[in-house]
Amino acid sequence: MSEIEKTKYVYDVKSPKAEEFINHEEIEATLKYAEENKNNLELIDSIIAKAKLLKGLSHREASVLLACENQEKINEVYKLAEQIKKDFYGNRIVLFAPLYLSNYCINGCLYCPYHKNGKIERKKLTQEEIKQEVIALQDMGHKRLAIEAGEDPVNNPIEYILESLKTIYSIKHKNGAIRRVNVNIAATTVENYKKLKEAGIGTYILFQETYHKESYERLHPTGPKHNYAYHTEAMDRAQQGGIDDVGLGVLFGLELYKYEFAGLLMHAEHLEAVFGVGPHTISVPRVRPAADIDPSQFDNGIDDTIFEKIVACIRVAVPYTGMIISTREPEEVRAKLLHLGISQISGGSRTSVGGYTEEQREHDTEQFDVYDQRTLDEVVQWLMNMGYIPSFCTACYRAGRTGDRFMELCKSKQILNCCHPNALMTLKEYLCDYASPETQAVGEKLIEKEIPNIKSDKVREIAKERLEKIAKGERDFRF
């Protein structure tokens, strides 16, 4: 029996109540235990050995790795994180873009320029403006979006979100089409989650911001988001509403990172225990400058070294989940994190309402500063030059491989049989329709190199036939 197995800690992971599955006393005990064992190399070796079984780690086990100070062991975790990412997701990197619909918001979040008393210019896209934004994104080559909107029941009611989804899915421009729309909106009711499911959304995303209840309530002094329990229990209601792909995240820098790390993993454990499926994605944003927001106001910021360690430890703890890094991070940081477990990134992003069709105006409507300002084409070529396959694939969602069906395939590593050829086919579409000549040349060489890596002889031959058809103008093949 391991040292952690001998340690008695009890909290009700199956309870739908936030204070029970995100248990403050258990997090504090976990941090104390991790601190006491941060140099216990025998224990650390046993945790790394368990992680190599690819079944994941508990929040306590992962917290010990996060606290570890031995650089040799940290390097082992980094190496393992990269291997786990390859085992589950191969060398694919999924690409997406955010689409901001409205910055009207009635909350008082201290870290967000959208807060009720913020100085930014308020704007809400009409359906015609949404159409123009989507066409601009399609002309870049995007197939997957994440829509964003502030919480405002008058300006941004659920009916507006549903109408916007219908508009986005309806737009076919040249060879462009948005095939999957993920939704990042405020916590809502089971009934509204059912409506989102019926509208055909992909993943429902909601960041906790911070799992520390006292800090959460201080950072959200006014508005419906002030209710910690209602916000934290949103994923339970989403699952009850039929949305079986949900995405978690915290905003690192608001609270002590070790606390957030443990809380995030406890939330994942809760979803796995109650619904049989953990988070489809985990995002790891850091506090960034924005209009009237100064990150130095928050004294829990983390440097790049700690950030890399957090990403690697999440990857070994929750090996099956997709991990997302946005354009909040600069190119050099994103490059390092790709080697530590990241599987999805945004590219060519704008974080302002109307940002894809309007000239940027002094960041006055941006939710946060974009640190990676490159075009999508530049990001695609960059990924390929590092040996990654940029993927615009949305096949699993459209084929019904969501929730436990996706996780079953992912955990058995069978998902690669679909994802690898699908990535190559969607990359081929991008190269034919949107890529610069230089990017196209790099991409064709990559596809030629990757085709032999499709393990199934039958799938390989079908993929080759479909790649030829794509070159001749046909579109939207998938396994």
φ, ψ dihedrals at 250, nearest 5°: -125, 160
Is the distance from CB of 43 to CB of 37 less than 8 angstroms? yes
Integer angstrom CA distances of residue 49 from 89, 196, 412? 21, 41, 19
Q: Is the entire prediction scored with pTM above 0.85?
A: yes
Instruction: Identify the sign of the CA torsion 256, 88, 179, 345.
Output: positive
DSSP 295: G
Structure confidence at residue 398 (pLDDT):
86
- For the chain, 479 residues long, the average pLDDT of each consecutive 10-residue run is 61 91 97 98 98 97 98 98 94 97 96 88 96 97 97 97 98 95 98 98 97 97 98 98 97 96 98 96 90 74 96 97 96 97 96 83 66 96 98 88 80 80 97 98 98 94 97 95
The bridge status of strand 172-173 relative to strand 176-177 is antiparallel
Integer angstrom CA distances of residue 106 from 31, 120, 149, 155, 397? 35, 14, 11, 10, 33
Structure confidence at residue 334 (pLDDT):
97
DSSP 403: H
User: Interhelix angle for 59-67 vs 41-51, to 10°?
Assistant: 120
Q: Which two tokens stand for residue 223?
A: 């508005």
Rg of the chain over all Cα atoms, to the nearest angstrom: 22
Helix (H) or strand (E) holding 145: strand 144-149
Report the distance separating Cα 164 and Cα 397, nearest Å: 19
Structure confidence at residue 360 (pLDDT):
47
Long-range CB contacts (< 8 A, 24+ apart) of 201-205?
201/165, 201/243, 202/144, 202/245, 202/394, 202/397, 203/245, 203/246, 203/247, 203/280, 203/281, 204/235, 204/238, 204/243, 204/245, 204/246, 204/247, 205/146, 205/246, 205/247, 205/249, 205/281, 205/283
Q: Which two tokens stand for residue 326?
A: 């946005």
One-letter amino acid identity for 17? K
- Domain 91-396, second-level architecture: Alpha-Beta Barrel (3.20)
Structure confidence at residue 395 (pLDDT):
85
Closest CA to 223 of 148, 150, 122: 150
Q: Could you give the count of Cα atoms lying within 13 Å of 244 in the half-sphere of its Cβ?
A: 16
Closest CA to 149 of 329, 299, 314, 352: 352
Integer angstrom CA distances of residue 71 from 39, 41, 80? 11, 11, 14
| Domain ranges, ordered by start, for the chain | 3-86, 91-396, 412-471
Structure confidence at residue 364 (pLDDT):
58
